[in-house]
Structure 1
C-alpha cells in the first residue's frame, strides 16, 4: 500500500497515441494518477470526462492527469476519441503498476470473487512524493476534490 509522504513508484508504460509515458519524466509537474477498472463503462467514463472538464484548471495549477487501467493503448485511443477526453491514459495490461500501488484487489459481484482494479487516485508532487491518496473513490465530485488538493500543494 502506498502511503502519503513516500516516494511514488516510477513506471514507464504505453499510453494512448502510441507513445510511452514515464512518471519520472513528468517532473517537476505534479501528477494526478488515477486508477479505474475499464474503458467506456459508465463510472469510468464519467470520471474521465470530469477530469477532462477540469483539465485547464489542473494545467494552470501545474498538474497533469494520468489514468491507468488494464485496457490496451489501442482501446484507450478509441475511448479518448469516443468521449473527446483530454487526459493521458496508460495501459497496465499485466497489472504490475496496479499491484505496486495496491489497487489490484479481490472484488466480488453477485457472490463471485475476482481480481480487479480498485478505483483510487494518488496525488504526486513535483518531486515524486505522494501527497494525497483516495481509495474506493466515488466518482461524483471526485475530480473537483482532487483539484482542490492540487491547488493546496
Structure 2
C-alpha cells in the first residue's frame, strides 16, 4: 500500500545522498531543513521510503506573494515511473493551500523538466549550471 506523509528531515538524507548527491560534492543536509516553516514529505510503499521532497519558505524575487521552495525531490530507482512524484506534489500542494502560499518554485534539473511541466510548473528565465548540472527555475501557482 502506498502512503504519503510528512517525515523528519533526517529521513530524507539517505535518498538525497543516494540519488541527488551521488558523486557530487554538495551537502545532503540543507540550510533550512529544521526551520519551523519547513516540512518534508515521503512516499512509502509498505515500510519502504521511495520518494522524498522538502518544502521550505523561501521567496523568489520574480513573483509576488508568499512562496515556498521545493528542494531535494528524489525517487529511488525502484519507485520511478509509478506516479510517486505526482502523489508527493499533490500532498504538498494541499499542505501549501492550508498555509495560504501563492507559489511553489524549484531549481529543476534539466532531466526533470518534463516531469515538472506535467505537474503544472512553468519555466522562468534561462538555464543555469551548478555542480549538479544544468537547471531551470520553475514555479507553479498554488490555488
TM-score by length of 1: 0.31
Greater share of helix: 1
**Higher relative contact order, chain-length normalized (CA < 8 Å, sep 6+):** 1
TM-score by length of 2: 0.32
Greater share of strand: 2
